Structure 1
Amino acid sequence: MKERLSAYEYRKGGIPMRILLAEDELIERKAMRKFIEENFPDIEVVAEAENGRKAIELAAKKSPDVMFMDIRMPGINGLEAIEKINTENPAIKFILVSAYDSFDYAKEAMRFGIKDYILKPGRKEEIVKAILRVQKEIEAEKMQQQERIQALGLRNERFITELMHAPLQESTLMMQKDLFPKIQSGCFFVVKHGAKLAVENSLQSFEKETDSQFITHQVEDIIVVCFLASTILQRSDISQVARRLQQKLGDAVYVGIGSPTALFVEMPKSYEEAYEACMQLAADGKRQYGFLTKGKFQQSDEDVITRIEAIVEKGQQEETSRLFQKYQDKLTSADKEDLYIRLKNGLISRNIAPPAISFSSIKANQDWYTYLHLCSSKMREYYQSKSFMEQAKKFIHTHSQEAITLENAAASVNLSASYFSNVFKQEFGMNFIEYLTMIRMQKAKGLIEENVYSLKEISFMVGYKDPNYFSRVFKKYYKESPKQFQQAILRK
C-alpha cells in the first residue's frame, strides 16, 4: 500500500534541495534530520537552529531552499523570524511546525505565502507530502526562470546579430531602448582562438567593476563581444578591458577592438573594425590585442580569393558574405571567375553537386551573394552529414543487438528517415540493413571464435531472436553455417 512506501519512493524525479531546521527541541530536531537524510538522499540538511535569532543568522549565511520552522521558540518566535528572513531572502520556502492547532497562526502564516502547516508530532506521511509539494513548487519556479533566461538570451542573440550589420533597422534601436535603456555608448571586440564560455567567464568581473554589460555571440570560429556602457567610452578604457581580457584568455588568443561610439547606428562599423583588427593581429603575430592599424593590412586579390574559398569550405555563410561585400569592387572579372571555378571544384571533389548556376549568369553582386550562400550551405550540410553519420554509426554499434530500425537510427540524429537513408548510403556505400547485418555478423564471428557461448546464445547476443534465421543470414554472409564455421575452428 502507498502508506508503506518510503519517502524516497515518493519523491522519484524530485530535485535536490537544501533544508534548514529551526526547532528548539533537540530531540525533535535530530529526529527530523535523521528522517530526511535517510529517506531523501538528494536533500541536504545544511544547518540547525535552536531559536528564532539563530534561524535568521543561519538563513542569511546558508541560503537554504526550504526551512522547517517551529512557531513557538524562545526569544524571537517562528513567525517573527519568517518575516525577517522573508524580507532578506523572499525565495526561501517555509514549512511551519507547531504543537498548537491555531487558526490565528495559520492565518498569520498565509501573509508569507506559507502553504504547509504540520502539527506535532508530525506524521511521516505529512512530512513527505510537505517536502514533495515544496519540491514541485521550486522545480516549477526554476523552469520558469530557465525559460525567462532562454528568452532573454534569444533576444540578446538577435540584438547583437543585428548590431553587427549595417544599416541598422528601427526595430534594433527600439530593442536597445527596451533591453538596455541606460546604455550611453558601446563598441565591439572580436576574439580569435578563444572559447565562448571562457570569454564569458572572463567578462563577468569587468561587468561588476565597470557597471557595463557584455553580450557574446559565436560566429563560426570567432567570438564576437558587444561592450555596452552606461557612460561614454574612451579608447583608453576599452583598450584596458581588451588587454585584461586577452591576459585572462592566454597568449594564443587575439582580441581585435572596434572604435567606441555613442551612436548606435555606427555599431556595425565598430564590428567591422574589430573583425579586421583581429585578423590583422593574427596575421602579424606580434601583438595579442589592439585597434585596426590603417593602411597596413592590405591584401592581394589572390589572398582575398583564398580567404573566401577557405571560409566557404568551412560552411561559414555569414562571414563569406561579409568578406565578399568588403572586397567585391576590388575583384576583377578574372578574379571572380577564378573564385567560381575554385568553389565548384571544391564541391565536386567532395562528391557534392554544385549549384546549378553558370558563371555567365552571375552578374550583379546580389547574384554572387546567392551563389556564395548556396556553396556555403552545401558545405555546411556536407560536414553536418559527416558528423551525423558518425553519431549514427556509434548508435548502430551500441544498439546492434537490439531490434533497431532505420527510423530508430534516423531519430537518434534528428533526421527524417528518407533523408537519413539517402545520406547513409552515400556515406557508407550500403543501406542501413546491409550495414546493421555486417556489424551483427562481425560480432557473431568474433563470439564464435571465442568458443564461450552456444550458437543459440550468440544468436540472441547479436540481435536475432530466431536462431534458424540467424543461421541463414550467417551462411549467406560467410558462405557456411555458424555450426560449420564453429567446427572448422575446433579442428584447427
Structure 2
Amino acid sequence: MIRLLMAEDEWLERKAMKKLIAAHLPEIEVIGEAENGLEAVEQATRSRPDIMLMDIKMPGCNGLEAIQHIQQKVPGIHFIMVTAYDSFDYAREALKLGVKEYLLKPGKKDETIQTLERVQTAVLRSRQEQKQYSHRLQKLLFQSVCHGEPHENYAELLAEAVPRASYGFAAVMREEEAPEDIEERLAQWTSDVFLTDRQPNGWFRAFFFHTGKSRGSEEIERLRRRMHFELGKKAAVGVSHKEYEMKLLFQAYVEALSGLEKNQAAMPEQSSQWVSSIVNALRTGEEKSAVYYWSEWWHTHPQKSSRRHLWLQLEELVKEMNGTLEEDMPSDAAEWKRLLHLVGAYRGLHFQEHHQIEKVKAYVKEHYAKSLQLEDMAGYVQWSPAYFSHQFKEVTGVSFVDYVARIRMQEAKRMLQDRERPLKEISISIGYKDPNYFSRVFKKQVGCSPKQYQQGRK
C-alpha cells in the first residue's frame, strides 16, 4: 500500500478527497488528516507517509512552511499542493521545494485522479530504485568486507547503509538451502540492524550492527544459540565471538568462518560442551534453549559423572545469583526438567529484583533533593522495608542511606566548584535542611569539610 497524509483545514474537502481515493485508487491508503500546518508537521514526522496532499492556506503555519519543516525531518515524501489560489508566486515557491504536482480547488474529478495516479507511479518507481540501490550497496559492502579489501569509499558506504552504527559482529550459515524467511526470523531474534547476503550452495552471511558502546558477548551468544535451536541440526552456524569496530568487520567475518569450520555439526558433541551450553543458556535467560540442549544431551545417555558435573554447575549458577539450590541431584528426566525450569525461574526473579533496584537508583539520582525515606522506596517497588533494605545492600554493596548520601555528595562536589556559592544553599539544594548535618555527612563521605573542598577548587 501507498500511505497518504492529508493536510487540509476544511472538513468537507477532506471528506470528499477520502471518498474519491477510496472509490478510484485502491492502492492508496489515507493514514491521517491534519487541520493545520503544525499538525501536518507533527503527523508527517510520526507516520512518515509516501504522499502528502498539502493545502497552502492553513491557520498557524501555511503549507509551504510546513513542507520546509517536514523535508528537514522526513526527506523523500512526494507532495501535492492543493489551493484555491491560482497564484504564480505560490507555484514558484512550491517548485523551489521540489513539489511537482499542483491541484486547484475545487478540482475536477478526472484531473485529481490523474494527478494522484502520476504521484503513485512516482512513489513505486522510487521504491524500486531504492531497493535496487540498497541491493547494489549491500553487495559492494559484502565484497569489500569479506575479501578483506575495503572499498576506497568503505566508510561512506557503511555510514549510508547503517547510519550511526559503531560496532558490529558477523554470522555465517551453511545449509543445503538457506530458509526463504531467514531475514524475517532474524528480525524476531535480534533488535540489531543487520545486512544479509545469500550465496550459492546454501551459504548465508550476515552482519549485525548497533550504536553506542561495545557490549559484552552475551547478545552474540544468545543469537548463536537461537540460530542453533531454531534451524536444527541441518544448518552449520558460525558467529564471531565479540563485536568489532566498523573498520575491523573483516576480522569478525574471519572469526565467524572459523566458528563454522569447528562446528559443522551445528551442536556441541562432548558432554562438557553440552553442560556449558545448558548452563550458559540459563545464565542469559534462554530457558527454552537450555531445555533443548539438555534433551539432546540426555539422549546420549550421559554418565553419572557428567550428570553430577551439570548439577554442580547449576548449583554454582544459583550461587552467582546469591541463592542456594536446596535440591538433591535429580534421578530421572522429569526431575531434571523440573530443576531446569526452577533455575530459569530463579534467574528471572533475580534479574527482576535487580531491575527493581536499578529503578530505585534511577529515582534517587533524579530526586536526590527530596526527602528519600527507606520506607517510601520500599513502597515504590512494593516490597517490605526489611526485604528492600536487605536486597538493596545485597545488590549494590551499600545500604540505601549510604547510597543516597553518595549521590547527594556527588552533586554537592559539583556545586562546590563554584567558590562563591553559599554552603547553606548547596545543602538545601541536595536535600539537607540542616547545613551542619550536611557538613558532617560530607566529611564522612569525602574526607574533608565542604568549605575545605570548596577552597581547594580555587
TM-score scaled by length of structure 1? 0.47
TM-score scaled by length of structure 2? 0.50
Which has the greater radius of gyration? 1
